[in-house]
Amino acid sequence: MKNFMALFATPVQRVTGILAIVTLYVTLANGLLPPDSFLYVSDYSVTLLGKYLCYALLALSVDLVWGYCGILSLGHGAFFALGGYAMGMYLMRQIGDRGVYGNADLPDFMVFLNWDVLPWFWAGSDSFIWMVVMVVLAPGLLAYIFGVMAFRSRVSGVYLSIMTQAMTYALLLAFFRNEMGFGGNNGLTDFKDILGYSLQSGSTRLSLFIITAVVLWLAFFICNRIVNSKAGKIVMAIRDAENRSRFVGYNTASYKVALFTFSAVLAGIAGALYVPQVGIINPGEFSPINSIEMVIWVAIGGRGTLYGAIVGALVVSYAKTRFTAIMPEAWLFALGGLFVLVTLLLPKGLVGLWPTLKAKAQQLWPKTKEQAL
């Protein structure tokens, strides 16, 4: 037992262990147990969990820039949505002639708009490889350009936050337009299959869930490596004293650009994994409030810890699902209240609460500790 617990000593091990256990359980329960069993996990729940894991990945990307580099991005939803659109375009092309209009070359909404040919930026969208490239490239490039402009000219703090918000707001307006060629208001939906596997089937859904879990683990592992490397220390140094870091000889702008771009790519990947599981991507994903919700996941979980972000995303998303089912009006009250309470009372988030509680417990029952020693 003691040996088993030792497996969960560090955050990395804890996240790895819990993710592995949950994934294994869900896989077995969904695949092997009969549907009427108490322990059975339905296809619906699998997809819901998969969605939560996408959010967790997204929260991880927000924490990386906010928690470690002090860049409060209120526009990470834009990167998430761009990754999602890249995936959505691929899935749209996979529909082929099974759409309402039965046009093998053009997605339904283009037929509806009386377009004759695919716009140039849809070129190659039927290739899986190209989709993967775009999932990385589209958010990455936007973040890189935005980052270069913002960080080179030393925009920081609140100004930067508002600028990121303006960015996602502009994209929201742009993607609402039919002329943009991304399905306008309705976005991209009615997907049929991915790589030939039907998106409706339980096994595809389970596979997507497993893939998401693996990607999340991988991303967590990489992020952890980054923040513990010398580069991670530099990033924290930049967060706390950017000027000093410059005089020590670090080109702080390029560190920030690199981190921001990497974070945006993670967010894009999260979006790409999200879209096939929920079956739709529309401009609503660009709306500023979505981006802000991501920030609150991280704030509630505890920023600057990576695993706190994952905890926050899971807890808040689960709460949202429950709340909106029981009493939908109450959700915004609850979310708003969380914002206020967490910033006022829990600056370190839920995971910051844990050591405090432990210390309290040790104060109250010091004996047990001595005995254990």
Partner 1 sequence: MILFARLIFLMLFIVALSWPLKAAEFENFETALTALPEANFKSLPELLEAIAELDDQRVSSLFTHLSKGEVYFQKSDKQVFYVVDQADGTANIVDVISGEVVQDINKNQLSKVKTTNSIRSGIAQLQAQLNLNHQDSAIRLNAAREMLADVTRISDKRLADRQTKEENSAVADILILIAALKELSKEDSAAQLAALESLDSSLEPDVRQVLVAASQDKERYSPEVQIKIKATLASIENQRNLYSYAENIFFGLSLGSVLLLAAIGLAITFGVMGVINMAHGEMMMLGAYTTYVIQQCFPNLIEYSLLIAIPAAFLVSGLVGVLIERSVIQFLKGRPLETLLATFGISLILQQLVRTVFSPLNRQVIAPEWMSGSWQINPVFSVTFNRLYIIIFSLIVFFMLLIFLKKSALGLHVRAVAQNRDMARALSIRSNWVDAATFGLGSGIAGIAGVVLSQLTNVGPNLGQAYIIDSFLVVVFGGVGNLWGTLVSAMTLGVLNKFLEPITGPVMATIIVLVGLVFFIQKRPMGLFPQKGRAVE
Partner 2 sequence: MKQQASVMGATENLVPDTRHGVILYMENVSVSFDGFKALNDLNLYINDGELRCLIGANGAGKTTLMDVITGKTRPDQGKVNFGQQIDLLKLNEAEIAQAGIGRKFQKPTVFEALSVYENLYLSLKMDKGIWCSLWHKLNGEQKDDIERILATIGLTEQRHGLAGNLSHGQKQWLEIGMLLAAKPRVLLVDEPVAGMTLQETERTAELLTSLAGEHSVVVVEHDMSFVRSIARTVTVLHQGSVLAEGTMAQIQSHPDVKRVYLGEEST
Query: Which residues contribute to the site for partner 1 (CB under 8 A)?
Result: 72, 149-150, 152-155, 157-159, 161-163, 165-167, 169-170, 173-174, 176-177, 288-289, 292, 295-296, 299, 329, 332-333, 335-340, 342-344, 347
Examine residue 251 and tell whether it contacts partner 2 (CB under 8 A): yes
Examine residue 247 and tell whether it contacts partner 2 (CB under 8 A): yes
Binding partner of residue 250 among partner 1, partner 2, none, CB cut-off 5 to 8 Å per kind: partner 2
CA distance 113 to 318: 39
Give the range of 24-32, 89-97, 233-241, 274-282 binding partner 2 by CB under 8 A. Answer: 233-241
Distances (CA, A) of 356 to 117, 130, 220, 353, 363: 62, 48, 25, 5, 11
Give the range of 24-32, 226-234, 293-301, 332-340 binding partner 2 by CB under 8 A. Answer: 226-234
CA distance 254 to 260: 10
Give the range of 126-134, 159-167, 229-237, 331-339 binding partner 2 by CB under 8 A. Answer: 229-237
Among 7, 149, 170, 248, binds partner 2 (CB under 8 A): 248
Q: Would you mind telling me the total number of residues written for the chain in this entry?
A: 373
Q: With CB under 8 A as the rule, give the number of residues binding partner 2.
A: 24
Binding partner of residue 248 among partner 1, partner 2, none, CB cut-off 5 to 8 Å per kind: partner 2
Binding partner of residue 167 among partner 1, partner 2, none, CB cut-off 5 to 8 Å per kind: partner 1
Closest CB to partner 2 among residues 4, 247: 247
Examine residue 246 and tell whether it contacts partner 2 (CB under 8 A): yes
Examine residue 239 and tell whether it contacts partner 2 (CB under 8 A): yes
Q: What is the DSSP letter of 120?
A: G
Closest CB to partner 2 among residues 100, 241: 241
Among 137, 155, 210, 237, binds partner 2 (CB under 8 A): 237
Q: Cβ of residue 304: shortest distance to partner 2, in angstroms?
A: 9
Binding partner of residue 72 among partner 1, partner 2, none, CB cut-off 5 to 8 Å per kind: partner 1
User: DSSP 3-state assignment of 358?
Assistant: helix
Based on DSSP, count helices (H) and strands (E) in the chain, helices before strands: 16, 4
Q: Cβ of residue 214: shortest distance to partner 1, in angstroms?
A: 32
Q: Cβ of residue 166: shortest distance to partner 1, in angstroms?
A: 5
Rg (CA), the chain: 22
Examine residue 218 and tell whether it contacts partner 2 (CB under 8 A): no
CA distance 148 to 249: 19
Tokens for 172? 């929201």
The DSSP code sequence of 156-218 is: -HHHHHHHHHHHHHHHHHHHHSGGGSS-GGG-EE---EETTEETTSHHHHHHHHHHHHHHHHH
Among the residues of 229-251, which ranges form H helices?
A: 230-240, 242-248
Binding partner of residue 159 among partner 1, partner 2, none, CB cut-off 5 to 8 Å per kind: partner 1
Q: Answer yes or no: are the C-beta atoms of 338 and 84 closer than 8 Å.
A: no
Among the residues of 70-126, which ranges form H helices?
A: 76-95, 108-112
SS (H, E, C) 34-55: CCCCCCCCCHHHHHHHHHHHHH
CA distance 350 to 342: 9
Q: Answer yes or no: are the C-beta atoms of 272 and 84 closer than 8 Å.
A: yes
Among 14, 244, 322, 358, binds partner 2 (CB under 8 A): 244
Closest CB to partner 2 among residues 98, 233: 233
Q: Which residues sit at the interface with partner 2, rule CB under 8 A?
A: 226, 229-231, 233-234, 236-237, 239-241, 243-252, 254-255, 258
